[in-house]
Amino acid sequence: MNTGDAHVQRNYRRLHSGSDLKYFGVGLKETDLAIGVDKGSFAEDLIVICEREIRRLRGGLEDFITVQPDFMTSLVPITLLPGAPGLAVRMSQAGWQAGVGPMAAVAGALAQAVGQTLRSRVNEVIVENGGDLYIDTSKSRLVSVYAGRSPFSGKIGVRIEPGESPLGICTSSGTVGPSLSFGKADAVVIKGSDAALADAVATGAANRIQTPDDFTAAIEYVQKIPGITGILAVVGEQLAAWGNMELVPL
């Protein structure tokens, strides 16, 4: 089994270890969420609420794609036709900010939408969607970095402090997983105030990295985008970081 297969099968979810959190999974078609909420707030009906929200969000997005098919395929920002659902609007906005197509923001946008739906019912919520996270927490958290065959993979984490919350922390890779990337980074991790934007910017930054010589160009790219607070880029045995990215050995 190669590392890409392991990522697609979500084996890394075995490492979810917030001792104060209750984890559960919900999914529909390509959407596959792992959700953690504080144990005191967990109830079985939260699963039903999340499933219903995913159906609603995906249904609206799929209906819109039948009207505007290039929303699904464009690799550059596009102008939406009238009547776009809120999720599509947010993805399009993120795409324009990052200079990428709207689907580059889909995982982060869905994670955030579901997390915000839960937030009125729980005290803590983390939604992970294929390595893209929406986090709303009152406690310090560590997010482990998975970077394929890089020696840093699983050996470093990014610390999240309560004052940063809610936020998105999203990852793109040119060597791991099924997502389209024009770069060759093992991992590009983006932290930002919005998960859809962080997801789109992770794609844009990863597209710019072929070798460690490209770290500077990727950092300069993210520095110009309001709402992005940090970047970590990993290629093989080298890494670079900028912004509010506290790295912690695991």
What are 7-30's pLDDT values in tens digits? 444 454 455 556 899 999 999 988
**Which of 242, 21, 20, 23 minimizes the C-alpha distance to 12?**
23
Going edge to edge, which strands form the sheet with 31-38? 21-28, 31-38, 125-129, 132-136, 167-172, 187-192, 228-235, 238-243
Identify the sign of the CA torsion 222, 57, 179, 186: positive
pLDDT band at 94 (very low <50, low <70, confident <90, very high): very high
Average pLDDT over residues 171-191: 84
Q: How far is CA 181 from the centre of its chain?
A: 15
SS3 22: strand
> Terminus-to-terminus CA distance in the chain, angstroms?
24
Residue 146: its H or E element: none
224 touches 217 (CB < 8 A)? no
pLDDT for position 242: 98
pLDDT > 60? residue 1:
no
More confident residue, 181 or 167: 167
Rg value, the chain, Cα: 17
Contact criterion met (CB below 8 Å) for 154 and 146? yes
In this predicted structure, what is the pLDDT of residue 235? Answer: 97
In CATH terms, the fold of domain 3-249 is: T-fold (3.10.520)
For residue range 121-159, list pLDDT tens digits in order.
Answer: 999 999 999 889 999 999 999 999 999 999 999 999 999
Minimum mean pLDDT range among 111-125, 170-184, 194-208: 170-184
Categorize the per-residue pLDDT at 120 as very low, low, confident or very high, splitting at 50, 70 and 90: very high
